[in-house]
Amino acid sequence: MGHRGVWTSLLLVWITCATHTSMSALANQLRGLDQGGTAPGMRQPGEVRGTLTRAKRGWVWNQMFVLEEFSGPDPILVGRLHTDLDVGNKNLKYVLAGEGAGTIFAINERTGDIHAMKRLDREEKAEYTLTAQVINRDTNEPLEPPSEFIIKVQDINDNAPEFTNGPYHATVPEMSQVGTPVTKVTATDADDPVYGNSAKLVYSILEGQPYFSIDPNTAVIKIALQGMDREMREEYLVVIQAKDMGGHMGGLSGTTTVTITLTDVNDNPPKFSKSLYEFTIPEDLGIGQVGGKVKANDRDMGENAKSTYNVIGGDDKDVFEITTDSQTQEGILRLKKPLDFENKKSYTLRVEATNVNFDPQFSGSGPFKDTATVKVAVEDSDEPPVFTQPSYLVEVHENTGVNAVIEQVAAHDPDITGSLVRYFIDRHTDLERQFNINVDDGKITLAKPLDREMDMWHNITVTAMEVRNHSQISRAIVAIKVLDINDNAPEFAMEYETFLCENGKPGQVGTNQSVIQTVSAVDKDDPKNGHFFIYSLVPEMSNNPNFTIKDNKDNSINVLAKHDTFRRQKQEMYYLPIVVSDNGSPPMSSTNTLTIRVCGCSKEGIVQSCNVEAYVLPIGLSMGALIAILACIILLLVIVVLFVTLRRHKNEPLIIKDDEDVRENIIRYDDEGGGEEDTEAFDIATLQNPDGINGFLPRKDIKPDLQFMPRQGQHSGPNGVDVDEFINVRLHEADNDPTAPPYDSIQIYGYEGRGSVASSLSSLETASSDSDQNFDYLREWGPHFRRLGELYSVGESDREP
């Protein structure tokens, strides 16, 4: 060896089971190694095979074992590490490093014993990798290289099997054969599956026999009983156990439940609840209406329970039909043809119910169908009258006289009692009341004259009502076709607009004996052999010098011009009366006038103008172009007039002329003055202080266009002011001031004057009584106060006794 010594190990394992004897033999071999022996099959370094000499021993070891879940009072000894350097030298120190060193595993630094300090669980960690080394206790220098070894946690049976996916649910068809697989369950065991039987599981059924079985190794659940019927029992609860240790005594176990549901198969035929069904149906039941219901019950479910119903026999089976209600699985008996109590009072039917879905594996169980008898009794009902035919077709000439009978309808009561019938016309189908009907015998007469050209067909509805029961009504349609008579004369097919070129050349319209118009006619009548029209000129114009007509043999004519010397200046328009007759009996005719205009044409014969005035127009300028030019001229004139008018209004001065009297204008103001406190419209200080300087004060309510010199105020004397003179001066100034308010404005003056003999004019402020007042001085103030003085004088005279 290249180092001072080699490691040996002693593995001491405490085994609680007798089956671990091989571990004891391994321990004995290790002891022999410590006494200088070698492990079996191991070659020592330097040993020569076949000789007895050997060098220093050195055995390689790498793992130890310890039991999990050991819970003794003292730490468990895992093993002992020893080096041949340890010959009583107290300077040696064993050091342990790696997974769990110092926490889970501890080493005696003097003896090399390794102990497990905690309870170990193999399911948490199965092995630990550690490193051992010998160092000098004083200098901590390594004496040998570190050696790595593994401590494996030895498993014990401490985990029970678990079904991680439980509880389980499974389905299997009913009536399945024995051994049919149902489902598979799986349990897991956390113990070591390699070491021992701790994880070897065996499955068994605790509940669910004798219906099901389970394979002990594969855990596949199978059918164990023949003929399991869903209709008897649908659901089963099976308890499965998984046990470890191969199922031997002492093993741990776990359980789960499996809910097994039998699914339905079509193993049951439909069965009618009774063999005879009886129904009573009124004879007036409508076609397609329900007359009764039958039901065949099926113990199966879903698609396997669906059945279809058919009428397979009976008398007059075409009168009824039976259908299947998809929701209730009932057979619905419906009427296909009308019932008549008077002809047949009862019916007997044979009805069959058959499964829709058939499973061949159950064909041996019998037919999957069932039959029942249905008896139908017809109940008499009060039926409405019945016409002899559902509709009538009548042909009548349009010249048939009023009140003439054109048709007779008939209806009768089909009931045994036989009620009388009355007839009426539904006026909603005869709004113009063209026809009448006799209520007793059903004769239809003409109420108004007919006109085929207005209405060729008349469709009216005739109602028949029982006299005994007015609610019983039936209807019939009467179609009346109006036949034609020759009562309309033929006339032109349209309003013809005919043109003739003046000075026409050969080949142009209006040339000699040329066609200028083709005329056809129409007739409102409709003869059986078609129309045939005869055209002619009126007798007085049979020798017309200008025009003639030619028959085209197809109910049309050509109008021809006899010459080509037509002139607009001579005659612009010609009128040609033409008589059109038919071949009816009696024949009818009418006179129609063809208007022919003489027009100017181009060299190619194209009409250009047909008016006499157009003749004097310049060549190349049409009437449309002339109208457009005139319209443009008028539009320009209107624009010029508007422009001049706007300019004139803009230059007018805003000052009122002298000759205009503004007082003739009534100006309405909606605002109300603010009294003496309103100083916006004028300067009230001037009125309150007439002695002050009467300078010019600009107005605040208007902005004058012209500036005037300020008015010269009247200078009041130092001792008093004449109020009458003051007011007259102000009035004169206002009348001559263009910036002053209008004449209908109110001038407010707040000045009463100073040194007035009468002092205040208000009677509320006087301290004397009415008897002490003398108002004669008011008459001396002038004409403005004369009326006031008279009023007060009258008041004094009234108080005298």
Distance CA 724, CA 743 (A): 20
- Per 3-state DSSP, the chain is made up of helix, strand and coil in percentages (nearest 5) of 15, 30, 55
**pLDDT for the residue numbered 58:** 37
Sheet strand arrangement including 63-67: 63-67, 147-154, 127-136, 92-98
Are 322 and 311 in contact by the 8 Å Cβ rule? The answer is yes
The pair of structure tokens assigned to 689 is: 């202080």
Distance CA 156, CA 191 (A): 7
**pLDDT for the residue numbered 774:** 67
User: Phi first, then psi: what are they for 360, rounded to 5°?
Assistant: -60, -25
CB atoms within 10 A of CB 416: 8
**pLDDT for the residue numbered 37:** 35
Q: How far apart are the first and last CA of the chain?
A: 173
DSSP 510-537: T-TTEEEEEEEEE-S---TT----EEEE
Closest CA to 152 of 30, 64, 61, 27: 64
Closest CA to 270 of 246, 236, 234, 294: 294
Distance CA 174, CA 215 (A): 21
Using CA atoms, how far residue 75 sits from 86, 95, 102, 424, 542, in Å, is 24, 18, 13, 122, 156
Distance CA 508, CA 514 (A): 8
Using CA atoms, how far residue 484 sits from 68, 455, 459, 611, 793, in Å, is 123, 11, 17, 46, 111
Distance CA 567, CA 565 (A): 6
CA torsion through residues 314, 315, 317, 323, sign: negative
**pLDDT for the residue numbered 679:** 54
Distance CA 130, CA 140 (A): 19
The pair of structure tokens assigned to 300 is: 């199966």
**pLDDT for the residue numbered 674:** 55
Bridge partners for 276 per DSSP: 373
User: Phi first, then psi: what are they for 541, rounded to 5°?
Assistant: -125, 25
Using CA atoms, how far residue 603 sits from 253, 502, 505, 507, 513, in Å, is 126, 11, 9, 11, 19
CB atoms within 10 A of CB 774: 10
Distance CA 201, CA 65 (A): 25
330-335 and 290-297 as β-strands: parallel, antiparallel, unpaired? antiparallel
Distance CA 425, CA 473 (A): 12
**pLDDT for the residue numbered 309:** 92
Closest CA to 577 of 539, 608, 520: 539
Residue with tokens 């895992």: 78
63-67 and 105-107 as β-strands: parallel, antiparallel, unpaired? unpaired
Q: For 159-259, where are the alpha helices, taking DSSP H only?
A: none
Beta strands in 300-451 (DSSP E): 307-314, 320-324, 330-335, 346-355, 369-379, 386-387, 391-397, 405-408, 411-412, 421-425, 435-437, 443-446
Using CA atoms, how far residue 319 sits from 47, 156, 313, 377, 693, in Å, is 117, 86, 12, 13, 128
Mean pLDDT of each 10-residue bin along the chain, 801 residues long: 35 31 36 35 35 39 74 80 75 87 85 84 84 86 87 81 92 92 92 80 92 93 92 93 87 93 89 92 89 90 88 86 90 90 88 85 75 91 88 91 92 84 94 93 93 90 91 92 85 87 57 75 81 87 86 89 84 89 85 88 77 49 78 92 84 53 54 56 52 47 47 46 76 75 61 54 49 66 75 56 41
443-446 and 405-408 as β-strands: parallel, antiparallel, unpaired? antiparallel
pTM over 0.85: no
Are 322 and 351 in contact by the 8 Å Cβ rule? The answer is yes
Are 214 and 220 in contact by the 8 Å Cβ rule? The answer is yes
Distance CA 196, CA 19 (A): 10
